[in-house]
Amino acid sequence: MTSGQLESLYDAHAQNVFAFLLHLTRCEHLTRDLMQEVFLRLARRPRLLVLKPRPYLLRLAHHAWIDHVRRDVVRARTLEQSFSSLDANCFPPPSRDAEQAELSTLLINGLAALPAEQRAVVHLKIWENLTFRQIGVTLDIPTHTAASRYRYALDKLRSAIRPSLENERA
């Protein structure tokens, strides 16, 4: 693989890999390290690149994250706890529309409270538009597990925003 090919892959897919990793790690420094790892792996073994690079890169990113968690369980747990409130790292500031902004904040908080496995599924479903089968392949889990994680995640998000909506109606 030439440096030009590597650069065009970066231009085409780095934003998606970045967003996925940021949702998993919720730490910008760690995301940068893992992105570096993903592109290093790609550069070392370009023959592994398949016809559709994006699912493959997301899969590589997920593997890099799992490797990191296995390597440094304590640090990963600390990070998970430290970002359990409003996840300002992953999203830009909400819009100026007060109602929309409040809902966005609630959803972001709800996402932050989800376990990493569910966050990964939600990210791939909502922002990558993958099917549950593709999500299963990307995360190395059965299709029905991906679907059930997504369902649990949505239930939790609905619970997270329900009090606010009830207050509004009252």
Q: What is the binding site for other proteins (CB under 8 A)?
A: 1, 3, 6-7, 10, 14-15, 18-19, 22-23, 32, 35-36, 39-40, 42-44, 46, 89-92, 100, 103-104, 107-108, 111, 122, 126-127, 154, 157-158, 161-162, 165
- Minimum CB–partner distance for residue 44 and other proteins (Å): 5
Select 75 or 162, whichever has its Cβ closest to other proteins.
Answer: 162
- Minimum CB–partner distance for residue 147 and other proteins (Å): 12
- Minimum CB–partner distance for residue 74 and other proteins (Å): 26
- Minimum CB–partner distance for residue 138 and other proteins (Å): 17
How far apart CA 10 and CA 126 sit, in angstroms, is: 22
Select 1 or 73, whichever has its Cβ closest to other proteins.
Answer: 1
